[in-house]
């Protein structure tokens, strides 16, 4: 989630997206985040692009801040 927000290098968030592909471990991880309301699907796969783009919700941002405290 930090990578999706661009905060994995210690700076302020400069983005909010993460791209996965069908069947990948990352896709399964992000599906779990959605189930916990920590993330949401931003863009769904199409006929020409099978990737899914996810983004962190406000609840997810708050959870990250709490972990950092």
Side-chain half-sphere of 8: how many Cα atoms within 13 Å? 10
pLDDT value of residue 36: 98
pLDDT value of residue 45: 87
Determine the structural domain holding residue 18 and report its residue range. Answer: 2-68
CA dihedral 42, 7, 61, 5 (to 10 degrees): -10
pLDDT tens for each residue of 28-62: 999 999 999 999 999 998 888 899 999 999 999 99
> Taking a C-beta distance cutoff of 8 angstroms, is the pair 30, 57 a contact?
no
What is the number of domains present in the chain? 1
């Amino acid at each position: 989630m930090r990578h999706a927000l661009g905060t994995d290098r210690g700076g302020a968030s400069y983005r909010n997206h993460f791209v996965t592909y069908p069947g990948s471990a990352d896709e399964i991880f992000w599906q779990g985040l959605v189930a916990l309301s920590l993330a949401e699907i931003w863009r769904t796969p199409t006929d020409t692009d099978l990737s899914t783009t996810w983004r962190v919700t406000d609840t997810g941002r708050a959870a990250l801040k709490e972990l950092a405290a």
